[in-house]
């Protein structure tokens, strides 16, 4: 079980999707990310992240190149045909226990609710389990309804809530815990692959079958 290699690519319906380590961030990616953030229509997107929004591009650059270099964490910029459109991380890596967490997720409006957003999770989950991890975690504030809904859609199982788990931005946080286990991934991977297949989308890019439907279909595999 090693560290994540330089870049992760998806060769499915979303051609050109790359999860780029922040260590490989180029000026162009930084400019593209800043364009997304500067046009962010809903500043509430920062509510449950451990930092506020960014006032200017230099603050964003400092976060990506310094603050995101945390021990036991690996951050990636999500790059699509539209450029750099968000970031995601592997946190709290515990290779001795084969456990890792997916978190610090920022999906800009260009990425949110897109095919590429689901593809991003597929790529990262597939990599984690291919590396021998037995458990992938997803944690969020109990009040963060979109994150909880996303965890369930992506195939994580709710495990419970840690009450008064921490203080974030001066207020209490109860933390909802979700997990996905290695023996669950084989059927979930089939569901992701079926959902991401080109023939699951019409010419306008609208899905024909839901990921939830494919999860049910492949549950016995």
Q: pLDDT of 2-23, one tens digit each?
A: 554 446 665 445 667 899 988 8
- CA–chain centroid gap for 45, Å, is 14
What pLDDT is stored for residue 221 in this prediction? 78
Summarised one tens digit per residue, pLDDT across range 22-59 is 888 889 999 999 999 999 888 899 999 988 888 899 99
Domains observed in the chain: 8-218 (3.40.630.30)
Model confidence at 220, pLDDT cuts 50, 70, 90, reads confident
pLDDT tens figures, 97-154: 999 999 999 999 999 999 999 999 999 999 999 999 999 999 999 999 999 999 999 9
Query: Once rounded to an integer, what is the mean pLDDT over residues 163-172?
Result: 95
């Amino acid at each position: 079980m090693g560290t994540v290699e330089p870049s992760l690519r998806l060769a499915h319906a979303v051609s050109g999707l790359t999860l780029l380590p922040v260590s490989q961030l180029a000026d162009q990616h930084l400019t593209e990310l800043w364009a997304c953030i500067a046009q962010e229509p809903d500043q509430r997107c920062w509510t449950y992240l451990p930092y506020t929004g960014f006032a200017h591009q230099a603050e964003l650059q400092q976060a990506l190149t310094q603050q995101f270099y945390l021990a036991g964490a690996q951050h990636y910029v999500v790059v699509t045909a539209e450029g750099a459109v968000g970031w995601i991380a592997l946190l709290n890596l515990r290779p001795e226990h084969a456990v890792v967490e997916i978190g610090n997720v920022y999906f800009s409006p260009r990425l949110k609710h897109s095919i590429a957003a689901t593809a991003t999770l597929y790529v990262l989950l597939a990599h984690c389990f291919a590396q021998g991890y037995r458990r992938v975690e997803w944690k969020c504030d109990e009040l963060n309804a979109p994150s909880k809904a996303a965890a369930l859609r992506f195939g994580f199982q709710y495990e419970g809530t840690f009450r008064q788990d921490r203080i974030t931005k001066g207020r209490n946080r109860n933390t909802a815990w979700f997990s996905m286990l290695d023996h669950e991934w084989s059927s979930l991977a089939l569901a992701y692959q079926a959902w991401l297949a080109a023939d699951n989308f019409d010419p306008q890019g609208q899905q024909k079958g839901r990921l939830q439907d494919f999860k049910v279909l492949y549950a016995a595999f």
